[in-house]
Amino acid sequence: MAAMTPTAPDVTPESGTRPAARSTAPVRTRRRPRVWRGLVLGLGGAYFLVPLVASFVFTVHTPGQGVSFEAYTALLSADGFTESLLLSLGLAAATIALSLLLAVPALVAVRLGAPRLRPVVEVMCMLPLVVPPIALVTGISTVLRWGPDHLSRTPLYQTFLAVQNEDFPFVLVLAYTVMALPFVYRSLDAGLRAVDVPTLVEAARNCGASWPYVMLRVILPNLRSSLAGAAFLTLALVLGEFTTASILGFRPFAVWIVSISGAQARMSVAVSLLSLLITWALLLVLSRAGTAPTGTPGAPRTSRKES
Amino acid sequence: MSSATPTEGTAGGTSRRRRGPRTWLAALPLIAFTALAFGLPLGALLFGAVTRTDPATGATALTGEHLSRSLQGPYLGSLVGSVQLSALTALIGSVLGVLIAQAVVTSRSQALRSAVLTASGVLANFGGVPLAFAFIATVGISGVVTQLADLTSLGWNLYSFGGLAVVYLYFLIPLMVLVIMPALDGLRPQWREAAQNAGAGGRQYWRHVGIPVLAPSLLGGFVLLFGSAFAAHATAAALVGGSVPLVTLKIADALSGNVMVGQENVALALGLDMILIAGLVMAIYLPLQRRSARWLR
């Protein structure tokens, strides 16, 4: 039954062949797969669970001293924990806002009236995949060095200083937005593919809706799950990002974890574990928020559940 | 201007024509942003990699010196090390990812499927620093499993090429599961039944139907894993420091200050090398992905 559901929409014409074939196939092919399937899933499960369980044991159990949860309780008062976490969350919020603000109008626009721009936008969004973060950051640090070298007497120099502000390094938001664009693009593109944007927009406009109204009340609600997906991926990216921040000399969450690992190994592992659990919880919440019925008309919802 | 359209443009043709210029403007911020935040650093990288500035005169001249230095000695070694590690982990990760995905798909259990997909979504993004520390706690020198099973006497060393490969697989296998699951779903049961009705055995089915249909997705997945392992820096930085030669670590070393003059340009040249390799990888991946999409509708 479970196997019928996903293929059901596609196979209606041939569905007559299924029951006949089913009665013979299971007898011949079912026996052996069960053994290797169990083996593969068992080994895979062990490989993915052991590090998590062992990390937890490592944080609470000191050989010879017994069990203590000090690594977790001391966390909140640890030097730099709150600051770096808040910095990372702030950067994540700014990155999500910026990338969605840039990508949503552009993607809707290429579907509405500028199909010739579509390959341009696609290439622009996917190109960052070709450039590893470390290569991007070498470029960024070169550009930032132009500031003191060449521009120190121009008004542009103030901008250079402003984006490198220790309290909120906006240059990181720029870099993270570039890195997030491919994921945001893919998520939004998949969402838009399931929606007939021109028809929706035309219908809404014919009913007298203004452009902001069309975007906020017609397009965006239809994209809820892909917006949530894009936001989640961006959040995960920013919270775990180490390369760019450490090379440019800022201290968000991931850099902080590394910096305490020498003195407080237990705490760094505890934080790593917590960050995984937080990511997991966020994914669950967001996937629920993206698909849960909240009162809007839900005709296209079933088609979006897969993505 | 914008409010005039709905009242006038009742005919579909006129409203469509009018929308043209305005929609073009909506894509402009994205293009401008990419040019500034992505194009500018990339241009700087390219420029720095192929030019040399004379410190005395300030004159800039074109040179291939940095690029050729980046392909010599320890730098070349780090490039080769990165490619080897990425190829090895991508290969193992692809095989294991396909096996797990196939086991999940054939189990026909919806609960297992959604659990594996969610877990893969999280674990594929669980790269970087936290992953490194989880493994240090597990199989590092004083890790829990290391002490329980006395792995050190078996010759195990996390801070080595092999150790790094085991850690990389932790985020590569879930990535492969995510990539290959839709492709495995696309293998219709009808094809298998048709092959069986025509007298083909399991092996013949895979050889003539299954693998050819999956081939683009398999290759595409492998390439994606390669690129992802190749670009990884944080995990390696937190784990091995400098004991395994990897190009990302070399670039970070050269960038973070106290090194010889001229080292920065070599870092830029190494960055360019990486972009070229990653670009090659993407040039293989994108057409393959398009090709596999043809079968998986």
What are the structure tokens assigned to A52, written together? 């998590």
Q: How far is A19 from chain B (nearest CA, A)?
A: 11
What residues are paired with B61 via a beta bridge? B52
The pLDDT value recorded for residue A9 is 40
A280 against A208, higher pLDDT: A208
pLDDT band at B292 (very low <50, low <70, confident <90, very high): low
The pLDDT value recorded for residue B194 is 87
- Tell me if B264 and A124 make a contact (CB, 8 A cut-off): no
DSSP state of A295: S
The pLDDT value recorded for residue B51 is 80
Span of B2-11, B242-251, B252-261 with lowest mean pLDDT: B2-11
pLDDT band at A286 (very low <50, low <70, confident <90, very high): low
Q: Is the pLDDT of residue A250 over 50?
A: yes
Q: Mind giving me the DSSP string for B82-147?
A: HHHHHHHHHHHHHHHHHHHHHHHHHHT-HHHHHHHHHHHHHHHT--HHHHHHHHHHHHSTT-HHHH
Q: Which of residues 157-186 of B touch A (CB under 8 A)?
A: 169-170, 173-174, 185
Percent of chain A with pLDDT over 90: 7
| CA neighbor of B69 nearest in space, from B255, B278, B270 | B270
Q: Which of residues 100-119 of A touch B (CB under 8 A)?
A: 101-103, 105-106, 108-110, 112-114, 117
Q: How far is B97 from chain A (nearest CA, A)?
A: 9
Using DSSP's 3-state secondary structure scheme, residue B191 falls into helix
Q: How far is B222 from chain A (nearest CA, A)?
A: 15
pLDDT band at A24 (very low <50, low <70, confident <90, very high): very low
CA dist., res. B130 & res. B270, Å (int): 27
- Tell me if B118 and A175 make a contact (CB, 8 A cut-off): no
Q: Is residue A280 part of a domain?
A: yes
- Tell me if A136 and B38 make a contact (CB, 8 A cut-off): yes
Which domain covers residue A181, as residue numbers?
Answer: 81-292+299-304
CA dist., res. B248 & res. B232, Å (int): 7
Q: What are phi and psi of B62, to 5 degrees?
A: -75, 135
Span of A23-27, A236-240, B284-288 with lowest mean pLDDT: A23-27
ipTM of the complex: 0.79
Closest chain A residue by Cα to residue B12? A202
Structure confidence by residue, pLDDT tens digits, B70-121 = 777 778 888 888 899 999 999 999 999 999 988 888 887 888 888 888 888 7
CA dist., res. A128 & res. A180, Å (int): 8
List the single best residue of B34, B225, B235, B295 to mutate versus A (max A Cβ within 10 A): B34
DSSP state of B187: S
Domain ranges of chain B: 2-62, 70-295
- Tell me if B189 and A283 make a contact (CB, 8 A cut-off): no
Span of A208-217, B109-118, B254-263, B279-288 with lowest mean pLDDT: B254-263
Q: Calculate mean pLDDT across residues A192-196.
A: 84
Span of A114-123, B7-16, B94-103, B238-247 with lowest mean pLDDT: B7-16
pLDDT band at B12 (very low <50, low <70, confident <90, very high): very low
What are the structure tokens assigned to B61, written together? 């001249």
pLDDT band at A295 (very low <50, low <70, confident <90, very high): very low
Q: A290, A225 in Cβ contact below 8 A?
A: yes
Cβ-nearest to B170 among A17, A51, A106: A51
- Tell me if B23 and A113 make a contact (CB, 8 A cut-off): yes
DSSP state of B61: E
Q: Calculate mean pLDDT across residues B249-271.
A: 75
DSSP state of B75: H
The pLDDT value recorded for residue A143 is 85
- Tell me if B227 and A211 make a contact (CB, 8 A cut-off): no
Q: Which of residues 212-271 of B touch A (CB under 8 A)?
A: 227, 230-231, 233-234, 237-238, 248, 251-252, 255-256, 264, 267-268, 271
| CA neighbor of A139 nearest in space, from B59, B31, B272 | B272
The pLDDT value recorded for residue B246 is 84
Q: What angle do CA B2, B4, B9 make, to 5 degrees?
A: 110
Q: Calculate mean pLDDT across residues A289-296.
A: 48
B89 against B291, higher pLDDT: B89
Structure confidence by residue, pLDDT tens digits, B146-197 = 777 777 777 777 788 888 898 999 989 998 998 888 888 877 778 888 888 8
Half-sphere exposure of B7 (CA within 13 A, CB side): 4
A111 against A157, higher pLDDT: A111
In this structure, what CATH number is given to the domain that contains residue A287?
Answer: 1.10.3720.10
The pLDDT value recorded for residue A97 is 93
Q: Calculate mean pLDDT across residues A151-165.
A: 72
Residue showing tokens 């760019």: A244
Q: Is the pLDDT of residue A103 over 50?
A: yes
Span of A283-292, B120-129, B130-139, B195-204 with lowest mean pLDDT: A283-292
Span of A209-223, A243-257, A285-299, B147-161 with lowest mean pLDDT: A285-299
Q: Calculate mean pLDDT across residues B251-261.
A: 68
The pLDDT value recorded for residue B90 is 93
Q: What angle do CA B239, B245, B250 make, to 5 degrees?
A: 90
Q: Is the pLDDT of residue A302 over 80?
A: no
Span of A166-170, A184-188, B6-10 with lowest mean pLDDT: B6-10
Q: B24, A114 in Cβ contact below 8 A?
A: yes
Cβ-nearest to B133 among A29, A57, A269: A269
The pLDDT value recorded for residue A274 is 86
Q: Is the pLDDT of residue B203 over 60?
A: yes
pLDDT band at B295 (very low <50, low <70, confident <90, very high): low
**CB neighbours (10 Å) of residue A240?**
24
pLDDT band at A169 (very low <50, low <70, confident <90, very high): confident
What are the structure tokens assigned to B49, written together? 């990699």
Q: Calculate mean pLDDT across residues A192-221.
A: 85
What are the structure tokens assigned to A49, written together? 């669970």
Q: Which segment, A1-5, A166-170, A282-286, is predicted with the most confidence on average? A: A166-170
List the single best residue of B1, B5, B33 to mutate versus A (max A Cβ within 10 A): B33
Structure confidence by residue, pLDDT tens digits, B210-253 = 888 888 788 888 888 888 888 888 888 888 776 778 888 888 88
**Mean pLDDT estimate for chain B:** 79
Q: What angle do CA A186, A189, A191 make, to 5 degrees?
A: 110
Q: How far is A294 from chain B (nearest CA, A)?
A: 22
CA quadruple B187, B188, B189, B190: dihedral sign: negative
Q: Which of residues 45-84 of B touch A (CB under 8 A)?
A: 45, 48
- Tell me if A44 and B127 make a contact (CB, 8 A cut-off): no
- Tell me if A279 and B122 make a contact (CB, 8 A cut-off): yes
- Tell me if A7 and B279 make a contact (CB, 8 A cut-off): no
- Tell me if B12 and A202 make a contact (CB, 8 A cut-off): yes
Q: Is the pLDDT of residue A283 over 90?
A: no
The pLDDT value recorded for residue A33 is 65
**Mean pLDDT estimate for chain A:** 77
Percent of chain A with pLDDT over 70: 79
The pLDDT value recorded for residue A294 is 44
What residues are paired with B51 via a beta bridge? B62
Is the CB of B92 inside 8 Å of chain A's CB atoms?
A: no
CA quadruple A258, B269, B45, A144: dihedral sign: positive
What are the structure tokens assigned to A277, written together? 């659990």
Fold exhibited by the domain B70-295: MetI-like fold (1.10.3720)
The pLDDT value recorded for residue A287 is 64
DSSP state of B207: I
Q: How many domains does chain A have?
A: 1
Structure confidence by residue, pLDDT tens digits, A46-66 = 888 888 888 888 888 777 777
